[in-house]
Amino acid sequence: MNIQSVHVAILDLPTIRPHQLAMHTITEQAVVVARVRDEEGREGWSEIATIGGASYGESTPEAIKANIDTYLTPHVIGQDPIRFGKIMHDISVHVRGNLHAKALVESAIVDLAARQRNIPAYELFGGKIHDGLPVAWTLASGDTGKDIEEAKEFLRQKRHNIFKLKIGKGDPMKNVGHVLEIQKAVADQARLTVDVNQAWDEDTANQCIPILQDGGISMIEQPLPGWNHEGMARLADRYRVPILADEGATSIQEIFHIAKHRAGNSIALKVGKTGGLTAVKQAAGIAEAAGLGLYGGTMIESDLGTAMTVQLYSTMPPMKFGTELFGPLLFKDSITTNRVEFRDFNVIVPDGPGFGVDVDHEKVEHYSREKGVLA
């Protein structure tokens, strides 16, 4: 029943269209997958994504793999998966930082522990509260008419009724006008949010936020650089529209600091940036105790990483701002044999053993940078 091997691979997954952020445009997404195998041949799998190599955060796919192979794996081999809390505690004593790498390792161990018991992984975190979670879609064509048409089509399909627009790149006031035109077109059926991805300074934020607020935009994500907690606190105090901290809310210690100083009045949760499934639940507890709203963020994961995250979020109280776990819908292909479901404006919580999806080994091999690494 103990862990016999750990293998990590970097996959490059093509997207159906460009996905534009302030610092990077995704046309092919690098994800890192891990497989842990026990002495009887059972497997646990996990996935963590980064955006644009080093353009978004401190972790890169290459560093995640190298650090797991060299520094984390020795603390995992021979351990009982159900003691994932102890395993991760031991790793934290010997390995500082490396939150994405720790998240990938812990999640694979959790998947294996649940599969050994033939139960969904959410049972290891208190059991699910929700069968589905509200899920947003990012409108990203840059053409106002096309974005309105796409939003209306997804509303008709009952796929999404929350829409996000990335407005950190280009002329801020032009972007604001683009958002408000879409808001006018769908406001009676949908909720719109915007994500600045740290691209504004405080002066620009004070020019744009009042217009967005008066236009009915429901939330503004990370308008200032992640380090600028004081500026975020001023914005959260000045405006009634919620200001969400994402890039500035990584470790549980940072989230405590944001809660204490009100450097935002809502928090975006992400498994990778926080350091794992257990750490995300801790972060959610801090935010909930401080009265901050929760948002289930994404790093554009495929079906595997999305199922992993959806299962965890299903064990938490309702998220005030829903989730953006649309990742599987953005990829041309899947690395799992069964897919995460989207219906009735929700992403559905998988109920199978582990994270509820089964990995397609041939697809992993096909998209892996290094062939034969998972043999």
Over residues 125-180, the pLDDT tens digits come to 999 999 999 999 999 888 999 999 999 999 999 999 999 999 999 999 999 999 99
Q: Cα(375)–Cα(364) distance, rounded to whole angstroms?
A: 11
Q: Is the pLDDT of residue 18 over 90?
A: no
Residue 276 binned pLDDT confidence (cut-offs 50, 70, 90): very high
CATH superfamily, domain 124-348, is Enolase-like C-terminal domain (3.20.20.120)
Report the amino acid identity of residue 315. Answer: T
Give the per-residue pLDDT at 142: 83
Alpha helices in 95-159 (DSSP H): 99-116, 144-157
Q: Cα(17)–Cα(140) distance, rounded to whole angstroms?
A: 9
Q: Is the pLDDT of residue 22 over 60?
A: no
Sheet of 266-269, strands arranged across: 137-139, 162-166, 191-195, 219-221, 243-245, 266-269, 293-296
Other CB atoms within 10 Å distance of the CB of residue 103: 31
Length of the chain (residues):
375
Q: Considering only the C-alpha atoms of the chain, give the largest distance between any 2 of them, rounded to a whole number of Å.
A: 61
Bridge-based pairing of strands 266-269 and 293-296 is parallel
Bridge-based pairing of strands 346-348 and 132-134 is antiparallel
Q: Is the pLDDT of residue 123 over 70?
A: yes
Give the per-residue pLDDT at 24: 66
Give the per-residue pLDDT at 305: 98
Q: Cα(284)–Cα(317) distance, rounded to whole angstroms?
A: 9
Quick one: what percent of the chain has pLDDT higher than 90? 90
DSSP per residue, 27-83: EEEEEEEEEEEETTS-EEEEEEE-STTTTSSS--HHHHHHHIIIIIGGGTTT--GGG
Give the per-residue pLDDT at 72: 98
DSSP code, position 268: E
Residues noted as catalytic: 166
Domain ranges of the chain: 3-121+358-367, 124-348
Residue 147 near residue 185, CB atoms below 8 Å: no
- The CA-to-CA distance between both ends of the chain, in Å, stands at 20
Host H or E run for residue 346: strand 346-348
Residue 75 near residue 90, CB atoms below 8 Å: yes
Say what the pTM is: 0.93
Quick one: what percent of the chain has pLDDT higher than 70? 96
Report the amino acid identity of residue 203. Answer: D
Q: What are phi and psi of 2, to 5 degrees?
A: -80, 165
What is the CATH code for 3-121+358-367? 3.30.390.10
Average pLDDT score, the chain: 94
